[in-house]
Amino acid sequence: MIKHFLIGCCYYPEHWDEKNMRADMERIKGLGFNAVRMGEFSWSMYEREEGKYDFSLLLAAVRLAEELGLDVILGTPTAAPPKWLTDKHPEVLCTNTNGVVMQHGSRQHHNHTSEVYLRYCAAITEAMVKTFCGCKNVIGWQIDNEFNCHRSRTCSEADDIAFRKWLEQKYTTIENLNQAWGNRFWSLEFNAFSQVTCPRPHPSYDNPSWMTDYYLFLSDTVVNYASVQTKIIRAHMPDAFITHNGYFRNLDYKKLTNECLDVLSFDSYPAFQEKKGKALGRNAAYRLALTRSCSEKFLIMEQQAGPGGQLSYLLPTPLPGQIRLWAYQSIAHGAAGVFFFRYRTALFGAEQLWYGIYDHDGEENYRSREIRQITEEISRLGELFLRERQHNEVAIFSDYHNECVNQVESFVQDDRWEIFMALNHQNIHADFVGASDDFSRYKVIIFPHITIVDEALSAQIERFTKNGGIAIISARSGVKDKHAHYRPQTPPGVFRALAGCRVDWFTALADDEKQYVQFDGRKYLAESYCERLEAEQGEAVGLYTEGFCKDKPAIVKNSNVYYLGFYCRESAGLYVDLISKHITADAPIDANLEEIVIGDHKMYLNHGDQAIPLDGYDLLAQGEFHQIAPYGVVLVERAK
């Protein structure tokens, strides 16, 4: 549905004097943009009184954009309900887990489960879509804004009512629910669904099955909330695409995308990582890959264009070159469009420190000049970036159900991020896949600590390995059923035959205890938790080096399956060494150089502050190069 590469910015005409709108729009066009994103967050202006709609200012902006040849993505304003609505219907306000009702004065103070609020959302969405359905340059809609950005758990009365309905639909009878949750433990049994609530603070520990269902429910409430708007938009504007901008907690983005969206979007602000250390903006690759796993061609609805910040913090200002670097990082990882946030920095409101392309003064600066360089390059190469994609040999399994369990059983920290970035630094780029994806596209798939596994997924992995794929399964996998109950089986549960081993003993490592794994002539630190394995059909290829587990199996290989009985956040390089036995990747040229193959081309992104010697012909600059400048980007044609 995206017909050409979209390059633009976020513009808020309501924040500026209307008489300057033409000058603003002409300046946006002059930056080389072909699209603009507008409309979210202005409900109080669109509907000052209930049922009395006025979209005249936004309509004028859309028509002016059409005159100037700019496509438009409009956002529904439902992330910020007006005061008259919350005064009239205080039940639409969300309540946090401590029972505090969120009040008007910011954003996202509404409740996703309130039937009253859903009706108002439907009404404002329908009024808005009917107003703009005749505007040919409105090519897409962003529903709401950043679901779960500021609160990802709510416990209002409306949530309780919705949770009960959700549970009754899932379990049919209260007896089934009690059994699924194991409610005989600690006398938690319910006599009726009407007794069930969303989890509140308790004096002791939570029931993991209750909590897992609650997190699944929270995601479904957002999907249902989104569907109210998408159905209306599709009814009136079937040719316009629908998107939403993530990536936040307690939301199954794959389900959201499949059921509600045409394309998923991501808001990319690498300066959050740069605040932790130089060259760490590269870490944005992780969420870009997660977004790509839901939507092969995704959008960046907000790309960092200046120093971001709220009243309580200010991120580092992008150095010359970094805006271009981060934009191309998004593109290399699959973005089919990039919108810089924002055109000009707001003079008032909570985001006065969230700087855009232009500062408060509106004057030209190095950022606007840098963006003109990007748009000139995109005008020549945008179709290439739409056509050519990454084709990676490695994937990491990820599913929302296991994310929920990991959030509940948080005694050990997941090492998925560390594994992904260790691979990234060695030019081994990974996708994220779920059970509904085609495993046969990959040579290697990592299954990191997937506690909940059913027989169907186990069989799918077995077929993948029998057809030549390599599966890497790690500690605490295959031991729980769909209700988060431990299986009455020896770990690794449903994977025992596939992995060719059993867990003989396990432990959480003491704070002062160090455990290492010897594999292929090198030692790797095992983190927090480890399992002593006993090889059955498989062969021990890695051994522990310390204490009670010394010289006992830590890694067992059974045909095309590796089972790793430990976590290794600091030593995630072990995955690099293991995977390198099964695929071929170019050795990294420099530690700060991200190298990404895109079809018949390769992009080099220098995240460091030093030039990197390299020769070639840069398609972006249309000339020879002999080094990649600090924060520089080059695109080369791959040798055939």
Q: Please state, in angstroms and as integers, the Cα–Cα distance from residue 597 to each residue in 281, 295, 580, 625, following that order.
A: 19, 19, 17, 19
Question: What is the predicted pLDDT for the residue at 460?
Answer: 98
Q: How far apart are CA 466 and CA 475, in angstroms?
A: 22
The answer to whether the CB of 19 falls within 8 A of the CB of 25 is no
Average pLDDT over residues 559-579: 96
| HSE (side-chain half, CA atoms, 13 Å) at 27 | 16
Catalytic residues, which ones? 146, 302
Residue 639 pLDDT > 90: no
Residues 30-77: tens digit of each pLDDT: 999 999 999 999 999 999 999 999 999 999 999 999 999 999 999 999
The answer to whether the CB of 292 falls within 8 A of the CB of 598 is no
DSSP state for residue 509 in the 8-state scheme? P
Residue among 361, 349, 356 nearest 15 (CA): 349
**What value does the CA radius of gyration of the chain take, rounded to a whole number of Å?**
26
Residue 552 pLDDT > 90: yes
Question: What is the predicted pLDDT for the residue at 561?
Answer: 98
The answer to whether the peptide bond before residue 492 is cis (omega within 30 degrees of 0) is yes
Residue among 592, 565, 593, 564 nearest 577 (CA): 564
Q: How far apart are CA 227 and CA 216, in angstroms?
A: 17
Domain parsing of the chain, residue ranges? 394-579, 593-637
Question: What is the predicted pLDDT for the residue at 302?
Answer: 98
Residues 291-318: tens digit of each pLDDT: 999 999 999 999 999 999 999 999 999 9
Residue 1 pLDDT > 90: no
Average pLDDT over residues 168-179: 98
Residue 640 pLDDT > 80: no
Q: What's the N-to-C CA distance of the chain in angstroms?
A: 31
CB atoms within 10 A of CB 315: 21
The answer to whether the CB of 59 falls within 8 A of the CB of 132 is yes
pLDDT-derived band at 151 (thresholds 50, 70, 90) equals: confident
Question: What is the predicted pLDDT for the residue at 550?
Answer: 97
User: Scanning the structure block, which residue is given the tokens 């120093």?
Assistant: 307
Average pLDDT over residues 560-566: 98
Choosing among 3.30.1490.20, 3.30.1490.190, 3.10.50.40, 3.40.50.880, the CATH entry for 394-579 is 3.40.50.880
Q: How far apart are CA 564 and CA 540, in angstroms?
A: 10
Alpha helix segments (H runs only) across 358-454:
366-387, 400-408, 416-424
Q: How far apart are CA 17 and CA 572, in angstroms?
A: 53
Q: Please state, in angstroms and as integers, the Cα–Cα distance from residue 170 to each residue in 177, 387, 576, following that order.
A: 9, 42, 41
User: What DSSP assignment string belongs to 227-269?
Assistant: HHHHHHHHHH-TTSEEE-EE--SS--HHHHHHHH-SS-EEEE-
Q: Please state, in angstroms and as integers, the Cα–Cα distance from residue 108 to each residue in 102, 126, 250, following that order.
A: 9, 20, 15
Q: What crossing angle do the helices spanning 56-67 and 115-132 adopt, rounded to 10°? A: 40
Q: Please state, in angstroms and as integers, the Cα–Cα distance from residue 46 to each residue in 51, 231, 354, 475, 538, following that order.
A: 10, 21, 24, 53, 66
Three-class secondary structure of residue 212 per DSSP? helix
Residue among 544, 527, 457 nearest 493 (CA): 457
Average pLDDT over residues 406-420: 93
534 CA to centre of own chain = 37
Q: How far apart are CA 132 and CA 426, in angstroms?
A: 48
Question: Would you state the structure tokens that stand for residue 119, as one six-digit string?
Answer: 């009706």
DSSP state for residue 358 in the 8-state scheme? B
Q: How far apart are CA 120 and CA 342, in angstroms?
A: 28
Residues 430-481: tens digit of each pLDDT: 999 999 999 999 999 999 999 999 999 999 999 999 999 999 999 999 999 9
Average pLDDT over residues 320-335: 98
Mean pLDDT for the chain? Answer: 97
CB atoms within 10 A of CB 20: 12
The answer to whether the CB of 555 falls within 8 A of the CB of 520 is no
The answer to whether the CB of 270 falls within 8 A of the CB of 304 is yes
Residues 256-272: tens digit of each pLDDT: 999 999 999 999 999 99
- For 305, list phi and psi in degrees, rounded to 5: -125, -5
Question: What is the predicted pLDDT for the residue at 600?
Answer: 96
Average pLDDT over residues 118-126: 98
Question: What is the predicted pLDDT for the residue at 619?
Answer: 98
Q: How far apart are CA 304 and CA 354, in angstroms?
A: 10
Question: What is the predicted pLDDT for the residue at 421?
Answer: 98
Question: Would you state the structure tokens that stand for residue 103, as one six-digit string?
Answer: 């009040």
- How many percent of the chain have pLDDT more than 70? 100
Computed from CA positions of residues 53, 57, 61, 66, in that sequence, does the dihedral angle turn out positive or negative? Answer: positive
pLDDT-derived band at 562 (thresholds 50, 70, 90) equals: very high
Residues 93-112: tens digit of each pLDDT: 999 988 999 999 989 999 99
pLDDT-derived band at 413 (thresholds 50, 70, 90) equals: confident
Residue 235 pLDDT > 80: yes
